[in-house]
Structure 1
Amino acid sequence: MAQFLVAALYKFVPLADYRALREPLFEFCRAHDVRGTLLLAEEGINGTIAGPEEGVRAVLRHLRGDPRLAGLEHKESWAEGQPFYRLKVKLKREIVTMGVPNIQAETMAGTYVAPEDWNQLISDPEVVVIDVRNDYEVAIGSFEGAVNPHTRSFTEFPEWVEQQAQSGGLLDRQKKPRVAMFCTGGIRCEKSTAYLRSQGYDEVYHLHGGVLKYLETVPAMQSRWEGECFVFDERVSVGHGLRPGDYELCRACRLPLSQADKASPLYEEGISCPHCHGTHTEEQLRRFRDRQKQVELARRRNTRHIGAAMPARPAPTSETDI
């Protein structure tokens, strides 16, 4: 059995004291040898953590010990190695950044659809199926027939909705079609469906537990999923049964790389890939090459190049401080 339990978790719930929760949560995770990233905001908590099974389960119990987080959602998978280099607990304005104020995801989210019922819903030709993940995530896998909004970040989603809400668009305001949305673990869907409902759309559905729960629950022979699912840790992607996939990360631009990408003459490990070749300054390239030398030295010594836990820092002053 794999050594490390990975838990993706979130909950939309008012946390007026979220700033005070940061340091105790960081220390509790560190004491239980748990790494990953947790985001705290006034609207709730979001993140993915990994570590020894007993450590991760202790953190989940600790979080649910707060009555406000008793119903915390989490999804489990396993990794052969620790998929995170560090532990980070961050303060944010939003636990998933859309940039639209007063979206009440905890009360306005659309109707949950269980993974085992999802195929029937998205098979209906009258239902508009929307992948609310970012473009680079959609590129390596999605549901058959799903619409790709081609967003580079979740903050672009409201603008795409406004464009498609015009006459003749996929979300024509006059017709108000039935809409089914999905994302990696469910959190972006809760906010995006709440946003659509705030715009007057009544029949809005989302995949409960996201793609990860679907891949864990639905047998591959019955699946409508094509490709792999991008995950925000060192596994990079997973397939059915949440088994680690075949993608790796470009250390220069952080985009997922297929075997074909790595075979490209534009690929240089740790320095550039077909997605980012020619976009870096000479100073950046110098730093990437210096870093890659250290990575290769650590590899020869059979050690990790980086991995120490990051100490708690003062609250970030902007959404980009993540």
Structure 2
Amino acid sequence: MTRNLPQDALPYKVMAIYKFADLPDAAQLQPALAELCAAQAIKGTLILAPEGINGTVAGTAAAIDALADFLLHNGPFGQRLQGAEVKYSAASTMPFLRLKVRLKSEIVTLRAPQANPARAVGTYVEPADWNGLIERNDVVLVDTRNDYEVGLGTFQRALDPKTQHFTQFKDYVATHLDPSRDKKVAMFCTGGIRCEKASSYLLSQGFEEVFHLKGGILKYLEVVPEAESRFAGECFVFDERVAVGHGLVEGEATLCRACRHPLTPADRADKAYVEGISCPYCAQDTARHAAAQERQKQMALAARRGAAHLGDGAVQAAADARARKRAEAEASRARNAAARP
């Protein structure tokens, strides 16, 4: 399947990877992985756990290729990460400030030992086949993301568990889903990893036919033409873009600098929204507002002195990155249009 938005050649290569695999020696693997990444000047975050690996990192093309070889072919992992979900993209500047190689008990925290995607997982559904599945009347469609993510956009007809943390998904299943009634359940998430674990959990609870979107919403938005899409709104992402739309073009959402909740244009038009200080989602949190007001004050003082405040610099860097990505996307669309017969 071809991509909906081709990427240009840029100086930094970004690798997003996850794989549920039996890694009982994760603690022993961590130092060697951290050493290789440091030697290659790779930055970003990788999480190792007995259940697998998850993370996103960036570096030169040669550095990322060396890391991929280490993980998938010739390193101490052996063949255990073969078949990992790996996505490559490009960046004009280094998108991460530092390197973190963390050891955790889970790569996706559900706190349900019976959910083990390395041993039992639902049926993967390619983005091209997703519309046909979710339009069936006998399929229950569930969004496994948290409420603030669902609020920005989701698939038509999808159920919202209204969770604030993924660990609460178990309670939703217990109270809202029934294996004797819900014979076919389809699930999705941002990149595929959460719903993969959720599908394993449902199987452990007696659900017989469980499906999940391969590559998640991001892969769907990348490869499915907008005219055929069943996704409404924008997809929240965990970086300075905040959200993306079809073709992975940056969306209109921003973050509240006080509570970090994503905000739509309608949220920013609400009377409770004060840039950098409050939004409709934290309007009653006066302690948070006081801290935000002090931060804004320090940024203003730094600006008057002609100095860069840390928070000010971070906001400006994010704004610069958003502007750059918009320009790159517009240039790519223009080239694609010019190349059409």
So what's the TM-score if we normalise by structure 2?
Answer: 0.79
Greater CA drift, 230-239 or 195-204: 230-239
Report deviation, 1:295: 8.6
Q: Could you say which residue in structure 2 is the equivalent of 1:36?
A: 44
Would the alpha carbon gap of residues 280 and 174 (structure 1) be closer, same or farther in structure 2, given more than 3 Å must change?
A: same
1:42-191 to 2 correspondences below 5 Å: 42-65=50-73, 66-67=77-78, 68-164=80-176, 171-191=177-197
Shift of 1:238: 1.6
Q: Which amino acid is 1:73 matched to?
A: E
**TM-score, normalised relative to structure 1:** 0.83
The answer to whether residue 35 in structure 2 is matched with residue 23 in structure 1 is no
Would you say how many aligned residue pairs link Structure 1 and Structure 2?
300
Could you tell me how far 1:272 is from its partner in structure 2? 2.8
Deviation at residue 214 of structure 1 after TM alignment:
1.0
Amino acid at match of 1:207: L
In structure 2, the partner of 1:231 is 237
Structure 1 gap segments, 5+ residues each: 165-170, 308-322
- Determine helix, strand or coil for the equivalent of 1:107: coil
CA distance in 1, matches of 2:284, 2:308: 27
Supply the distance in 2 between the matched residues of 1:173 and 1:155 (Cα, whole angstroms). Answer: 20
Letter in 2 for 1:63: L
**Pairwise CA distance, 1:122:** 0.4
**Which structure has the greater CA radius of gyration?**
2
Q: Is the 2:140–2:182 contact (alpha carbons within 8 Å) kept by the matching residues of 1?
A: no
Asked if the contact 2:15/2:87 (under 8 Å) is kept, the reply is yes
**Secondary structure, aligned partner of 2:118:** helix
The alignment partner of 2:145 has SS state of coil
| Match runs of 1:189-204 below 5 Å | 189-204=195-210
| RCO higher in structure (CA 8 A, sep ≥6) | 1
Residue identity matched to 2:236? F
Counterpart check, 1:274 vs 2:284: no
Q: CA offsets, 1:55-79, max 9 Å, x none?
A: 3333223221332123221123444
Q: Which runs of 5+ in 2 are unaligned?
A: 1-7, 318-341
Deviation track 1:68-92 (CA, whole Å, cap 9, x = no partner) reads 1232211234445443333222211
CA deviations on 1:153-207 (whole Å, 9 max, x unpaired) are 110001000001xxxxxx3333242110011111111111111111111111111
Cα separation, partners in 2 of 1:204 and 1:246, compared to 1, 3 Å: same
1:56–1:230 Cα change, 3 Å: farther
Report the aligned-residue RMSD. Answer: 2.8
Amino acid at match of 2:19: K
Tell me the alpha carbon deviations over residues 233-284 of structure 1, each in whole angstroms, 9 at most, x when there is no partner.
Answer: 2222122222222222223322212233334443344433222233152663
Answer yes or no: is the 8 Å Cα contact 2:143–2:160 preserved in 1. yes
Structure with the bigger percentage of helix: 2
Q: Is the 8 A contact 1:212 1:242 kept in 2?
A: yes
- Identity, in percent, stands at 49
Code of the residue aligned with 2:217 in structure 1: it is V
Aligned match of 1:311: none
